[in-house]
Amino acid sequence: MRALQGLLNVVVGLLTAVVGTVLGIVAALVMVVGAVLCVTLILIPLGIPVINLGRRLFGLAGKLMHMP
């Protein structure tokens, strides 16, 4: 039973690491979009919340990668 639980922990750890990595890539793309929006002066009110969303996604990705 312990071996099965250990195997399950490894699988869950790998799965959360993969999901965290994908979420980190998505967060990077969201931040790039936010930066492009901020470069155009008229769209700064849209770019700043998008960059904040990317920052929160990076935080969530980091938490997912450090889950046991």
**What local confidence, expressed as pLDDT, does residue 41 receive?**
86
**What local confidence, expressed as pLDDT, does residue 52 receive?**
96
Mean pLDDT of 29-43: 93
Tokens representing 28 are 């990077």
Q: What is the dihedral of CA 63, 65, 67, 68, to 10 degrees?
A: -170
Spell out the domain ranges in the chain. Answer: 2-65
Q: What is the pLDDT of residues 2-32, one digit of tens each?
A: 888 889 998 998 999 999 999 999 999 999 9
Mean pLDDT of 38-62: 93
In the chain, the percentage of residues whose pLDDT exceeds 70 is 99
CA 54/CA 16 separation, integer angstroms: 19
What element of type H or E holds 46? Answer: helix 44-65
